[in-house]
Each structure stands twice: as structure tokens, then as C-alpha cells.
Amino acid sequence: MGLCLSRDNKSKVKKRPPSKRITNHSAAAAGGRGGGGGGGSTRIRSSRKEENLIHEQALAAAILFQQELHNGGASTFDRSTSLRYPSGNSKRNQALNRCSSSRTRSLTDPLLQPHQLINQDIKLDNIETNHFVLVHGGGFGAWCWYKTIALLEEGGYKVTAIDLTGSGIHSFDTNSITSLSQYVEPLIDFFKKLADGEKAILVGHDFGGACISYAMELFPSKVSKAVFIAAAMLTSGQSTLEMFSEKVDSNDLMRQAQIFHYANGNNQPPTSIDFDKSLLKELLFNRSPAKDVALASVSMRPIPFSPVLEKLSLSETKYGSVRRFYIETPEDNAIPIAVQESMIYKSPPESVFHLKGADHSPFFSKPQALNKLLVEISKIP
């Protein structure tokens, strides 16, 4: 969700030490279309087979869950996929087994049976936490992570996908959101309920990068690692609008696609931003499957404008104490790679991963490769 409003003055960039940069070719092959090369067990499934597998797994789990409810709920079922705001009293009472979803799967891989999706005796060795918290970008909702949720949970991870205020199924008028704190309230509520001593890996996409930064400043002891996926990674005193406006001349498509709403009158500042549906695919989903583009076109909601204007206050002792990782999306038409590189240069994270062939929405265009990187980051000591 790059916003293209020009600025006259550009601040000079101070040179920072470079981040560790990783081009994950195997991950790119695992998640992309046309992974290239022939060959038996190394062949990568087509995107259609991959999507069908995920949908079938989710359906199988749902059917089994309904059967258990009908039978009095004899088995324990982890509903972290469907819960947007889990109870703070929930505990990790299952042993989790080693993730296999980070490997390249062959066409001969069998479909997981329903009993394999619950109560798995999987162990994720040597990681600080197995809990991912996914924060969507501007206009998106928790729905956009459905492939990532399925793949991570298949690997034994616990996943919570948040609907920010006025997003997804959260019933609030976007035009009435007046601050970043109001917009991120569901995320803040999650961390308030998270038990002392528990941590999560916080993942933000797009404008969700500013949102997770806000949470990192408030709850640094509860964030194990922070992952920015084509996301706003700001410096203290900077707003998301300022950051995106620095490269205004390089993104005519974004400027053409934006539709501003003025709920308080045309003589007042905008209250929200929407996208021209005819340009949605080219802007956000230029490498994504048609089914996911269709899902997004009926699910996306306007982006509140006030939070985009708000400058973040980030300290080295809190925000700066959290380990940060950045995943670049080189085929991104919404936040071009030049903007991503600029953010990385100004505020270097611990490592940078290059997700080859990914558009602005890698959870759609490169779900397998994205999953592999998230698993890899979770295991970095």
C-alpha cells in the first residue's frame, strides 16, 4: 500500500552497516511458478495442485472438527486458524513435531489425513517460540494469510492471524479511525492477553510493518523476532506516508489506482483510501493466481488515512532490542524494490531475504517459498 503524495524536501541518508542478505533460490523454486527443471521427486507441484492440497486439508480438518463437536468434543482441536483474538489463558499443551513444510515437496506427496492435522506429536527443536502472529497490510485482512496459516500449522506451528480495526471481519467504519493506536487495538489486545514469559514471532505485511513496529515498542519482551514482508519498516519520527512518498515519481500505477474518500466533507482531509478495482491485479497481484485475485477483489476494505499520517516514536531500548528480518518482493508494483531497499539501508535489519519472483502479495504468489523463509527465520538461533 504505497501512498504517492509528493514531498518537496528529502532528508539525507546516513550510511549504515549492510545487513546480511540472503537470496533463497531453493525457497523461490519451492513457492514459485515454473520452478524449472525436470525430474521425479524434485519436481515442484503446480500452483493449482498446491492450492487444491491446502483447500482439501482445511476442508478435512473442518469436517473432523464438526464430527467431534457432534460426538461431544472428545478430541482436542487447535482452532488457531479460525480464532482472531485467542484467549490469554490458552496454553501450549501439545508437543510439536519437526516441520517438514520447508522442504520441496514432490507430486507424489500424499494428502495429509484429518487425524494428522490435530494432536500431532511434532517437535520443533531449538526454537524460542513456535507461535506466529500475522498482521495484514492496508486494505487486507486476516483472510489474506489462509495459505500461510495452513502451511505453518501443517508444520506444527501455532498461528494467530489478526484483523486490525475496520479490516477483514472487524465491524468498524474505516472512515471513523482517527489514530494508529485505534487501528492496531486488536493487536495490542492480543499482546496484553499473552501470558508473561510467552513470546511470538511477529510478521507484518505492507502497512502492517508500521503496526508491528508500534507493538514492538510497547511489548519488546513478548516479541521473539519481527519479520517485515514488503512492509513499512520506519525510522523513529517517520510516518508511513513520508516513507512511501520519497519515491513518488517511480510509481505512477499507485497514484492512478488510489481513490480517496472524504467522509467529513471535501474541504477536509481524506478519511480513507481505496483502490480502483480495475487496477488491483496489476498493482498488488501481478504474479498471483486468478482465484486469489478474485478473493481479494471482494474482501479488501478501505485503508484508514489518519494512521498513515502518524509519525512513529521508536526507541533503541525497546523497538531496537527486537531482532528484525526483511523479506523483499522484487516483482512488487505497490512498494517497488527501490523503496524496500531504501528502508533497509536506513534501518538495517539482521538479515534480508530476497523472495525471487514474488509480487506485493507473496502469501498468494509464492506461498511455499514464503512459508519456507518463515520457518527458516523461526529456526535462526
Going by C-alpha positions, the residue among 252, 270, 248 that lies closest to residue 261 is 270
**43: exposed, middle or buried (C-beta count within 10 Å: 0-12, 13-18, 19+)?**
middle
Is 121 annotated in the active site?
A: no
Q: What residues form DSSP beta bridges with 134?
A: 161, 203
DSSP label at residue 239: B
Q: β-pairing, 223-229 with 323-328? A: parallel
* Catalytic option among 78, 163, 292, 332: 332
Is 125 annotated in the active site?
A: no
CB 187 within 8 A of CB 211: yes
Is 115 annotated in the active site?
A: no
* Catalytic option among 136, 170, 205, 360: 360
CB burial of 99-130 (b: ≥16 within 10 Å; e: otherwise) equals bebbebbeeeeeeeebeebbebebebeebebb
Q: What whole-number distance in Å separates Cα of residue 318 and Cα of residue 223?
A: 10
> Which three cell numbers mark 172?
468498524
Q: Which residues, including other chains, have CB under 8 Å from residue 127's CB and lie 6 or more apart?
A: 378, 379
* Catalytic option among 206, 292, 354, 359: 206
Residues with active-site annotation: 206, 332, 360
